[in-house]
Amino acid sequence: MEKRILLSSPTMHKEEMEYVKEAFDKNWIAPLGFNCDNFEKEMDAYLSQGIEDKYHSLALCSGTSALHLAVKLAGVKRGDTVLCSDMTFAATVNPVSYEGGNQVFIDSELDTWNMDPVALEMAFQKHPEAKVVVLAHLYGTPSKLDEILEICKRHDAILIEDAAESLSATYKGRQTGTFGKYGAISFNGNKIITTSGGGMMIAENEDDRKTAFFLATQARENAPWYQHEQIGYNYRMSNVVAGIGRGQLIHIDEHRELKKKIYNKYKEAFKDSPVTMNPYLECTEPNFWLSCLLVNDDSSVDPLDVMRALADANVEAHPIWKPMHMQPVFKNNDFITAYDKPLNEKIFKKGLCLPSDIKMTEAEQDYVIDIIKGCFK
């Protein structure tokens, strides 16, 4: 195919340019401003739909900065143990290192590919000193939140949700990112909505949001000169890119429905093939950010061969995230699994992320499906 079929690329609409143009017309380009303020308010309203609790969003330059501020507000200090999702992108867990903490990685479970509550309880038994859990919702699929929240409560631990991949996904009707004391969202270029780059921290209470705002603006004290009594960061979002985010947020549910349609088409097409799609709980509504397949154990097909066949046909696919406990930088960190053989190693070895771009036509997806099926003949 002459046109490249992408994994997940930005989909823009007319509203983004209107908000950006307003920023230019008012010469309000620098960080902070009306787009940032309104983007936060509009996100608060979106996250709080249908629930009594109201959440407090802070627009930042990246999802990683949101996670870093969450880790800092959770009180992680040098030498502290933090229990973290193992199957995720490194940005989920790197902020623990920024604060000098030590990650203990928790294997996944079969029903969602997310943090296994059984392994989490095992981790608390081995590391009773741990007081923070960092949980990622992989590929837009909500985790087993009831079980994980109960374990955190019993061990008096703070939950931080990495909802970078799961914005608009719900667990029992409630938005991911609003279950923990802190949450983090990413607006990177490949996410379900984008600001080109950027993110948000979600706080359970307004005082924490104010503290995060202070730290994100270089911890500048209220004085007529530049006064700093602690270390801060340059983490705020630009007023220009916040305008892009406002326009994107209008279309988030539309994007999710298109992602779901792609997932369901793959699932139907592969029902007689030796693969399964990334699973989810019936009480959840994922955002289906990326559709992924898992090759059955009894198949000799290597997912990397499938990826190469797609690449030869000008189609982008990607391996599943390499688990953190397998990363050289974390080779000395503890890893907890409830299985005889780590589940995440199997998912990494046998899994593949498929093209999930919402601009992909049905004919283009049929083309992708035919190539994949051909690998199993």
- Judged on CB neighbours under 10 Å (0-12, 13-18, 19+), 53 is exposed
Do 293 and 269 form a contact (C-beta atoms < 8 A)? Answer: no
Give the CATH number for residue 308: 3.90.1150.10
Residue finishing a domain among 249, 281, 298 = 249
Partners of residue 60 on adjacent β-strands: 199, 236
Give the CATH number for residue 124: 3.40.640.10
Q: In terms of domains, do 236 and 120 share one? A: yes
Q: In terms of domains, do 238 and 336 share one? A: no
pLDDT digits (tens, 9 = 90+) for 168-189: 999 999 999 999 999 999 999 9
Would the pLDDT of 31 be above 80?
no
Question: Does 367 fall in a domain?
Answer: yes
Q: Mapping DSSP to helix (H, G, I), strand (E, B) and coil, where does residue 85 land? A: strand
Do 135 and 116 form a contact (C-beta atoms < 8 A)? Answer: no
CA distance 150 to 155: 9
Residue finishing a domain among 249, 274, 294 = 249
Q: In terms of domains, do 369 and 241 share one? A: no
Do 2 and 365 form a contact (C-beta atoms < 8 A)? Answer: no
Would the pLDDT of 125 be above 80?
yes
Q: In terms of domains, do 228 and 269 share one? A: no
Would the pLDDT of 67 be above 80?
yes
Q: In terms of domains, do 96 and 211 share one? A: yes
Q: In terms of domains, do 163 and 61 share one? A: yes
Task: Note the pTM of the prediction, 2 decimals.
Answer: 0.96
Question: Does 9 fall in a domain?
Answer: no
Q: In terms of domains, do 89 and 217 share one? A: yes
pLDDT digits (tens, 9 = 90+) for 325-355: 999 999 999 999 999 999 999 999 999 999 9
Question: Does 5 fall in a domain?
Answer: no
pLDDT of residue 248: 98
| DSSP-assigned letters across all residues of 266-288 | HHHHTTTSSEEEPP--TTEE---
Question: Does 8 fall in a domain?
Answer: no
Q: In terms of domains, do 239 and 272 share one? A: no
Tell me the two tokens of residue 19.
């908000």
- Residue 2 pLDDT grade (very low, low, confident, very high; cuts 50, 70, 90): confident
pLDDT of residue 364: 98
Of 5, 2, 3, nearest in space to 372 by CA: 5
Would the pLDDT of 377 be above 90?
no
pLDDT of residue 249: 98
Question: Does 4 fall in a domain?
Answer: no
Q: In terms of domains, do 24 and 158 share one? A: yes
- Residue 50 pLDDT grade (very low, low, confident, very high; cuts 50, 70, 90): confident
Would the pLDDT of 12 be above 80?
yes
Q: Please give the single-letter amino acid code of residue 17.
A: M
Q: How many domains does the chain have?
A: 2
pLDDT of residue 155: 98
- Residue 104 pLDDT grade (very low, low, confident, very high; cuts 50, 70, 90): very high
pLDDT of residue 244: 98
Question: Does 2 fall in a domain?
Answer: no
**Percent of the chain surpassing pLDDT 90:** 96
Q: In terms of domains, do 215 and 290 share one? A: no
Question: Does 3 fall in a domain?
Answer: no
Would the pLDDT of 16 be above 90?
yes
Q: In terms of domains, do 272 and 200 share one? A: no
Tell me the two tokens of residue 292.
């992924």
Residue with tokens 């080109």: 196
**Rounded average pLDDT over 205-231:** 96
Question: Does 7 fall in a domain?
Answer: no
Would the pLDDT of 85 be above 80?
yes
Would the pLDDT of 19 be above 90?
yes
Tell me the two tokens of residue 81.
């143990």
pLDDT of residue 59: 97
Mean pLDDT of the chain: 97
Q: In terms of domains, do 24 and 141 share one? A: yes
pLDDT of residue 52: 78
Q: Mapping DSSP to helix (H, G, I), strand (E, B) and coil, where does residue 10 land? A: coil
Would the pLDDT of 30 be above 90?
no
Residue finishing a domain among 249, 284, 316 = 249
pLDDT of residue 49: 85
Residues 6+ apart with CB under 8 A from 167: 175, 176, 177, 185, 186, 191, 192, 193, 252, 287
Residue with tokens 């994949």: 372
Of 13, 65, 36, nearest in space to 235 by CA: 65
pLDDT digits (tens, 9 = 90+) for 235-247: 999 999 999 999 9
Would the pLDDT of 324 be above 90?
yes
pLDDT of residue 51: 82
**Rounded average pLDDT over 112-123:** 98
- Residue 142 pLDDT grade (very low, low, confident, very high; cuts 50, 70, 90): very high
For residues 105 and 32, the model is more confident at 105
End-to-end CA distance of the chain: 21
Domain that holds residue 128: 14-249
